[in-house]
Amino acid sequence: MENLTKNTFDNYIATGKVLIDVWADWCGPCKSMIPVLEQLDADQVDLKIGKVDAGEELKLAQSLGVRNIPAFILYQDGKIVDRKTGACDLDSLKDFVN
């Protein structure tokens, strides 16, 4: 998993399947997703996971249309495939990315 900024975001999502997690350190549901995302990262070799801290990268989060966190945006080769908001379990997140 990689922490992304407005300067690294576009290059990170440009190729392959990428899950973006928009989160904030003050968000309880966001914190509950950390072990889920770590397990997903270990299980899914064909998926990159990038994290956008909405507190530090507010303009980037806003440009992505994020209004609620945690927010998950799935990209394929730089294009948005799907969106999901709210905490969830590992199986739900696996279904979302596959």
Domain boundaries, the chain: 2-90
**Residue range 3-30: mean pLDDT, rounded:** 96
Instruction: List the catalytic residues.
Output: 27, 30
pLDDT at 97: 95
pLDDT tens per residue across span 33-67: 999 999 999 998 899 999 999 999 999 999 999 99
pLDDT at 44: 85
**Residue range 6-31: mean pLDDT, rounded:** 96
Instruction: Give pTM, 2 decimals.
Output: 0.94
**Residue range 69-75: mean pLDDT, rounded:** 97
- Sign of CA pseudo-dihedral 28, 42, 80, 5: positive
Question: Binning pLDDT at 50, 70 and 90, where does residue 2 land?
Answer: very high
For residue 23, CA distances in Å to 13, 20, 33, 76 come to: 17, 10, 9, 21
2-90 CATH, one of 3.40.50.720, 3.30.110.30, 3.40.30.10, 3.40.1360.10: 3.40.30.10
